[in-house]
Amino acid sequence: MTAQMIDGVKISTGLLGDIARDVDAFIALFGRPPGLAVVLVGDDPASSVYVRSKAQKTLDVGMRSFEHRLPATTSESALLSLISELNRMEEVDGILVQLPLPAQIDERRVLMAIDPEKDVDGFHPMNAGLLATGGEALMPCTPLGCMILARSVLGDLTGLEAVVVGRSNIVGKPMAQLLSMANATVTIAHSGTQNIAGTCRRADLLIVAVGHPEMVRGNWIKPGAVVIDVGINRLAAPELGPGKTRLVGDVTFQEAIKVVRAITPVPGGVGPMTITCLLQNTMLAAHRRSASGKQPEICFRQTLSHSHDAPFSLPS
Ligand SMILES: Nc1nc(=O)c2c([nH]1)NC[C@@H]1CN(c3ccc(C(=O)N[C@@H](CCC(=O)O)C(=O)O)cc3)C=[N+]21
C-alpha cells in the first residue's frame, strides 16, 4: 500500500484564500480589517520564527498585525498592563501571548487576563469550559487544524477508534473533546498508560502530541491507520554539517510511512494549519465583536459537523 502524505501546506493555502476573501468582505462591511495582536516575551529564537511567520500570514490575508516584543525580564504586571490595553483596543480582535512565558510570570494569570472574546488561542478557562460543555467557544488552533487534516482523508469520523497521545491543555485535552464531538470513540493515552504501544495500535486515527522526538514507532501503528503528528522537535543533525539541525515529529516517520494509510509530515503538516486556524479564529472573533450576526462560512462547521451534516469538502 502506498501511504498518502497529508499536505498541511496545500490545505492551509486553500483555507488562507477563503480567509482572505472573508477579510475583504469584513472590510467592506465595517470599514476596517480584523486585527491580531501577538505578544512575545523574551527572545527564544524558535519562538521568534513562529511569531514572524504568523505576522507575515496575518498581513498576507489582509488583516492588521500588532506585534509586541518584550524583554525576557518583563514583569508580570507590565505584561498584564499590555494585555488590558490590547483588551481595550477596538481595532484588536485577537490576542495571542506566545507560550511558554519566562519563570517570573504566572502563565495562568496571564491567560485569564485576556478578554475571552479576543482569546484566539482558546486557552482562557472560559473558552476551555465552553468547549467542554458544547458552547460557542473560540477553540484551540492546533486541535482544529488536526481535525481538518484528519477529515481531509477520513471524512466523517463517526464510529472510528481515535487515540490521542498526550493530555495537555493546549492540544491533547481539547483534541479529545473535538474528536468525541465528531462522534469518534476516543482514548487518551499518556505517561501513565500501561501498554501505550498496544493502545496506539487500536487506533484508526492516531494523534500524537507529546513533544518526544520519534517516540511512536512503526509497530505501534495499526496497518491502514491515519496518523496526525503534532510534534515539532529540533534535533542536532551533524550528518548535514556542523551545527546543522533537522525537524522531526513525535512519530518515527520512516517506519510509520510503511504501515499507515496517510500521515502528516513534519514540517509541512500540522504547523501551517495551526497558523491558518489562528487567522480563522481571528476572523470569527472579529465578526462576533462586530455583532454582525452574519458569520463567515467557516471551516469549523466542517471540522465539527456530525454525520448528518454536509460532507466535508476541501478547498481546491
Ligand atoms: N500562545 C501560543 N499559541 C501557539 O499557537 C503557540 C505558542 N503559544 N507557542 C509556540 C507554539 C509553536 N507553534 C507553532 C506554530 C506553527 C509552526 C509551523 O508552522 N511550523 C512549520 C515549520 C517551521 C520551521 O521550519 O521551524 C511546519 O511545521 O511546517 C510551528 C510551531 C505555535 N505555538
CA 294 to chain centre: 25
Tens digits of per-residue pLDDT, 110-165? 999 999 999 999 999 999 999 999 999 999 999 999 999 999 999 999 999 999 99
Q: What is the pTM of this model?
A: 0.94
CA 228 to chain centre: 12
DSSP state of 102: P
Q: Is residue 314 part of a domain?
A: no
Q: Which of 18, 98, 222, 280 is catalytic?
A: 98
Per-residue pLDDT, 50? 86
Percent of the chain with pLDDT over 90: 88
Q: Is residue 22 part of a domain?
A: no
CATH code (residue 36): 3.40.50.10860
The question of whether 43 is a catalytic residue gets the answer no
Cβ atoms of 225 and 261 within 8 Å: the answer is yes
Boundary of a domain, candidates 96, 114, 132: 114
Task: Count other C-beta atoms under 10 Å from residue 34's C-beta.
Answer: 28
Nearest CA to ligand 1 atom 3: 98
Boundary of a domain, candidates 45, 79, 114: 114
d(CA 268, CA 9): 6
Q: Is residue 42 part of a domain?
A: yes
Q: Is residue 305 part of a domain?
A: no
Cα 271 to middle of ligand 1, angstroms: 5
CATH code (residue 248): 3.40.50.720
Check the annotation: does 228 bind a ligand: no
Cβ atoms of 89 and 97 within 8 Å: the answer is no
Cα 207 to middle of ligand 1, angstroms: 17
Do 233 and 186 share a domain, yes or no? yes
Per-residue pLDDT, 175? 98
Burial class from Cβ neighbours inside 10 Å (0-12, 13-18, 19+) for residue 177 reads buried
| Ligand 1 atom closest to residue 53's alpha carbon, by position in its atom list | 19
Cβ atoms of 274 and 142 within 8 Å: the answer is yes
Do 95 and 153 share a domain, yes or no? no
Check the annotation: does 167 bind a ligand: yes
Query: Does the C-beta of 234 come closer than 6 Å to ligand 1?
Result: no
Which residues span the domain enclosing 237?
Answer: 141-271
The question of whether 98 is a catalytic residue gets the answer yes
d(CA 279, CA 274): 9
If the chain, 316 residues long, is cut into consecutive pieces of 10 residues, what is the mean pLDDT of each piece?
94 97 97 98 85 94 97 98 98 97 97 98 98 96 98 98 98 98 98 98 98 98 98 95 96 98 98 98 97 57 43 34
Per-residue pLDDT, 47? 83
Do 105 and 187 share a domain, yes or no? no
* 3-state secondary structure at position 61: coil
Tally of structural domains, the chain:
2
Per-residue pLDDT, 87? 98
As given in the structure block, the three cell numbers for residue 8 are: 498541511
**Of the residues 127, 232, 234, which should be mutated to test ligand 1's pocket, given the most ligand atoms within 8 Å of the CB?**
232
Enter the ipTM.
0.98
Do 107 and 169 share a domain, yes or no? no
Cα 109 to middle of ligand 1, angstroms: 22
d(CA 98, CA 43): 11
Cα 50 to middle of ligand 1, angstroms: 5
Per-residue pLDDT, 303? 57
Do 100 and 57 share a domain, yes or no? yes
